Amino acid sequence: MYILQNALKNIARNKGRNILMGAIILAIIVTAVISLIINTAAGAVIEEYKTRFGSRVFINPDISKVSVLSGRQSEQTVPLPVVYAALAGSDCLMGADLSCQVPCVSDALLGLGESDDGNAIPISPENGSYTKFPTMNVKGYTNPTQLDDFKEGYRGMMSGNFPVNDNECIVSEDFAALNDIEIGEIIEIAQGMVPDNPLSLLVVGIYFDFTQNQFGAAAEAPAAINVRNDIITNYETAAAFAKSDPRVDTAAYYLKSPGLLSEFESEARAAGLSYDYIVTTDEEAYNRIVGPVLGMAKISLAFVAAVLILGSLILILLASLAIRERKYEIGVLRAMGMKKRKVAFGLVFESFVITAVCLVVGLGIGTAAAQGASDMLLQGQIAAAEPNADYAVGMMYAGMQTDSNAKPLADLDVNLNLKAVTAIILISFLLVLVSSAAGISKITKYEPIKILTA
């Protein structure tokens, strides 16, 4: 008990020196709190986004082998929908998004932007049998609820629900109004380019549509490319309806781990994918989203390491100077018969009390300042990670699938979590040992008479 009481009195007696040491410890703890809060929050985001974007895989034509300029056709013999379907069951995957777009016509339905007389434009294919030019599109998706347009609010359900079963669909508000379609009705469509290929779909929902067409506003676009003529269903329904045109099918796969890319590509080749197609991950989207956060994590970790090293050196210097002032006190205690470990415990307890006070204050200050520091650091990292414009143009020219519309993280919500608190407490214990190291070293190396005469 005497040791603890004496340690507390010593803190008050030497308050000038202890205030200086406390200020340094407080600065270290505040810096560590801010950096570790940012680091742990960034680490969690990195893991989440690695799963969502870092493992996303696309299958794209190899433009260097198959293009108008190369003058050769693809040697793909197995239809791509067959390959896509086979790969969807791969053990390498945590999930797959398949889509299929099928141009179609209908004798009973009009498409927005269709010719004034209400009839589709007739064309004559090579076999001589007249069919109609498509005026609408059936679009099938593995998971329609996860479409970007719906998640971002450009489209949304007005009534009904997304298609769940085969041969169910949803249509746009404008398309439904034009054709007097209500939920529960069955619509009849067919492929304009494939005779005798009808499809009956049950309308289970109607959605609003604020999206824009590739060329001009939705109301002005020709029927064949008017996005408000989209009839959305599940992938299985659209793929079965397609039958003939694999070029309209797309697929995106999500690996369990980025390291499985080579194994997944081997499975794709075994399933019949020719070397006219390449299997890649979308590095641009990954770098745009994960890059800034990854940079934050590295910077915050490097900063706290630098502060700890510099702060520890200053604390050791201050402790060495302080122990010179207290050598007679320590020598007397040792001469009176107090054991080394008890004297050392008193010095450690003094450092512990100072550090504990700094820890409580530092946690409050650091937590309050962490969000502002995070926002400032993130904005700098986002600016540094802006995508290269020439690269983006090249990707568009190549016609490759990417997730280039993926938006970088605009802000990072940081808060004090258990992992950060644990790390900060460990750092505080380290500071306790560092700040009392010089005294403990002198106690353990020298006998009382040596301490008093030093």
Q: How far apart are CA 213 and CA 225, in angstroms?
A: 7
Collapsing DSSP states into helix, strand and coil, what is residue 167? coil
Neighbouring-strand partners of residue 99? 141, 250
Task: Mark out the alpha helices in 74-165 (DSSP H runs).
Answer: 80-87, 148-151
Give the global pTM: 0.51
Q: Give 258-264's long-range contacts (Cβ < 8 A, gap of 24+).
A: 258/50, 258/54, 258/55, 260/92, 261/57, 263/92, 264/57, 264/87, 264/90, 264/92, 264/93
DSSP 264-309: HHHHHHHTT--TTEEEEE-HHHHHHHHHHHHHHHHHHHHHHHHHHH
End-to-end Cα separation, the chain, in angstroms: 29
pLDDT of residue 392: 35
Q: Are 391 and 284 in contact (CB under 8 A)?
A: yes
Alpha carbons 77 and 293: distance in angstroms, whole number: 43
Cα gap 362→38, rounded to integer Å = 15
Q: Which residues contact 332 (CB under 8 A, 6 or more apart)?
A: 452
Choose among 321, 303, 291: nearest CA to 382.
291
Residues in the chain, pLDDT under 70: 1-3, 45-55, 66-74, 115-132, 192-196, 213-221, 244-249, 282-291, 324-330, 334, 377-414, 438-439, 442-454
205 Cβ partners below 8 Å, 6+ apart? 157, 158, 159, 160, 161, 162, 163, 170, 183
Residues 75-118: pLDDT tens digits? Answer: 778 878 788 888 888 998 888 888 888 888 888 888 887 765 44
HSE on the CB side for 191, CA within 13 Å? 16
Residue 343 is classified by DSSP as H
Element housing 367 (H / E): helix 340-384
For 398, phi then psi, to 5°, come to -70, -15
Q: Which residues contact 376 (CB under 8 A, 6 or more apart)?
A: none
E strand spans, 35-167 = 56-61, 93-104, 122-123, 131-132, 136-141, 155-160
pLDDT at 404: 44
Neighbours of 13 (CB within 10 A): 13
* Eight-class DSSP state of 128: S
Distance CA 362, CA 27 (A): 8
Q: Angle 15-49/283-325 helices, nearest 10 degrees? A: 160
The residue ranges of every structural domain in the chain are 2-53+288-453, 88-257
Residue 93 DSSP symbol:
E
Cβ-based neighbour number of residue 266 at 10 Å? 12
DSSP summary character for residue 105 = B
* Residue 174: per-residue pLDDT: 92
For residue 106, the model assigns a pLDDT of 86
234 contacts 168 by C-beta, under 8 angstroms? yes
Report pLDDT digits (tens) over 146-196.
788 888 888 999 999 999 999 999 999 999 999 999 999 999 998 866 666
- Provide the b/e sequence for 356-389 (b: ≥16 CB within 10 Å): eebbeebbeebbeebbebbeebbeebbeebeeee
Token couple for 418: 């258990």
**Is the separation of the CB atoms in 28 and 311 below 8 Å?**
yes
Query: Residue 330: phi, psi to the nearest 5?
Result: -70, -40
Nearest to 228 by CA among 97, 118, 139, 148: 139
- Which residues have CB under 8 Å from 130's CB, separation 6+? 122, 123, 124
* pLDDT for 394: 33
Pairing of strands 168-172, 230-234: antiparallel
